[in-house]
Amino acid sequence: MGKPTGFLDFQRRGRPGQPPRERVRHWDEFHAPLPEEERREQAARCMECGVPFCQSGVELGGMFTGCPLHNLVPEWNDLVYTGNLGQALARLTKTNSFPEFTGRVCPALCEAACTCGLNGDPVAIRDNELAIIEAGFASGAMAPRPPRVRTGKQVAVVGSGPAGLAAAQQLNRRGHSVTVFERDDRPGGLLMYGIPNMKLEKRVVQRRVELMKAEGVEFRTGCDIGRNLPAQDLLAEYDAVVLCCGAKKPRPLPAAEGIPGAYFAVDFLTAATKALLDGGAPISAAGRDVVIVGGGDTGNDCVGAAIRQGCRSVVQLEMMPRLPDVRAGDNPWPQWPRVCKTDYGQEEAAALFGADPRRYQATVKACRTDGRGALSSVTAVRLEPKEEGGRRVMAEVPGSEEELPCQLLLIAAGFLGPEDYAAEAFGLSRDGRSNVSTAPGGHATGVEKVFAAGDMRRGQSLVVWAIAEGRAAAREVDEYLMGYSGLG
């Protein structure tokens, strides 16, 4: 490494962010890049550890740690430290199709496995990654790279989220003619409509889509395969079909079914982004008491969006117990740290309303409406762990009901798997979790020339996993079409 003592010489420093009370006034990203010299210092902290767990992408303790893309982290950290950003970009994009996405929204499995994190703060890998790719775009190095030769093979990719975009990019660079079908009005899938703008500005997504168009990828929006476009049309026209339709079937909340004022989180976030891009009325939290069921990243995004819309109050209910602030003894490095994380939305709620919005071991038991049928309050109930049928469940605590004012209820309780109609249109089999079944360790379905990747195959997961899935599926499709593949 360029500076073997860098992890001793420099303290970790992340990108500075605007104070919560300032950033909630807008929907833009609120972290600024570090000056070049400070960024080089952060890269210098990457120690010559010998065994770089950061790029391992392995399962430990039932969870994955290290980068699923096996990014060449020590290599490009060293290149950033020595000022060779062009070479750093080449090494970064060798394994990661979209560092501008993972550098913003990935929970950084690489940092959880960083050797520096064993006895101190891990290297700011994600921020360094983002600095490399943004420097590449700023310098013009991220120019279109259309293939020199076309193979004559036609591939349809259904879904333009991170898995679909990654598959399309790789297959196009191999020389296949790729058409991406998207049911929404803009490409990007969850990158466009599932993640709010202050976390991932939509200009960043559109910038990548335009680059892919310039490289020869065709995008068709408003095409809902299995509804307004028959699956048989794709099977007849294309040599291979890659399904990357996500896992968008939301987990319902029985108490909220049929209640006006209750919405799934994905619908709320989609409406907020569409209103920001096109104008029109969102599902508005303005002047309302908001209750969010779900303590994950999507629930946090709902907190941040509701605050920016001007909610009167916000409460986030989490069914599970609060995680510890530091690693427990049975959760050693380099496992993923099962610790309590306070994200940007919760920071903002605490700054505006004086307290963390989260209430642990709680859910909504009932909803109440006013005389006009509008939601007016919810009944929250406490939960406690209980053994039932040999497994641990969260059960209601009798007499723990509490009435909370609520005119907007957002359900961010996760997803049950892919929506049924796309898989049914192709006649695909499903596994026990309703995901599309594929060959063991692969992406080929039981239907000739049809492949599946991303959340549709593995269930709800991370953007970085979706990219890894898309790249792996592209290699498999390439081998199917050509008999061999040079794709990474």
The span from the CA of 194 to the CA of 213, in Å, is 22
Q: What is the pTM of this model?
A: 0.96
Q: Which residues contact 278 (CB under 8 A, 6 or more apart)?
A: none
Q: Indicate the SS3 state at residue 326.
A: coil
Q: CA 423, CA 74: separation in Å to the nearest integer?
A: 41
- The SS3 call for residue 36 is helix
**CA-to-CA distance for 291 and 56, rounded, in angstroms?**
39
Strand partners, 219: 180
CATH class name, domain 252-413? alpha beta
CATH topology of domain 6-139: Fumarate Reductase Iron-sulfur Protein; Chain B, domain 2 (1.10.1060)
In this structure, the strands spanning 313-318 and 154-158 are unpaired
User: Is the distance from CB of 157 to CB of 164 less than 8 angstroms?
Assistant: yes
CB-based contacts of 391: which residues, under 8 Å, 6+ apart?
none
Average pLDDT per 10 consecutive residues for the chain, totaling 488 residues = 86 96 98 96 92 93 94 96 97 98 97 94 97 98 97 98 98 98 97 97 98 98 96 98 96 95 97 95 95 96 98 97 95 95 97 98 97 94 91 93 98 94 96 94 97 96 97 98 94
Residue 181: which of 104, 235, 143, 145 has the closest Cα? 235
Q: What is residue 371's predicted lDDT score, i.e. its pLDDT?
A: 86
- Residues 238, 206, 285, 282: is their CA dihedral positive or negative? negative
Contact 283, 203 (CB under 8 A): no
The burial of 50, by beta-carbon neighbours within 10 Å (0-12 exposed, 13-18 middle, 19 or more buried), is given as exposed
480: left (phi over 0), alpha (psi -120 to 50) or beta: alpha
Q: What is the pLDDT of residue 102?
A: 98
Helix count and strand count (H, E) for the chain = 18, 18
DSSP SS3 for 1: coil
CATH superfamily, domain 154-248+416-482, is FAD/NAD(P)-binding domain (3.50.50.60)
3-state secondary structure of 274: helix
3-state DSSP helix/strand/coil % of the chain, to nearest 5: 35, 20, 45
- Which of 119, 155, 158, 410 lies closest to 263, judged by CA? 410
Token pair 């108490």 in the structure block, residue:
255
Domains 154-248+416-482 and 252-413 share a fold: yes
What are the domain boundaries of the chain?
6-139, 154-248+416-482, 252-413
Q: How much is the pLDDT for 1?
A: 66
| Cβ-based neighbours of 326, under 8 Å, separated by 6 or more | 339
C-alpha–C-alpha distance, residues 142 and 214, integer Å: 12
Sign of CA dihedral 260, 302, 414, 323: negative
SS3 174: helix
User: Which burial class, exposed, middle or buried, applies to 278 when counting CB atoms under 10 A from its CB (0-12, 13-18, 19+)?
Assistant: exposed
Alpha-carbon span 209 to 483, nearest angstrom: 29
pLDDT score at 48: 79
71 within 8 A of 92, measured Cβ to Cβ: yes
Q: Is 350 exposed, middle or buried (0-12, 13-18, 19+ CB in 10 A)?
A: middle
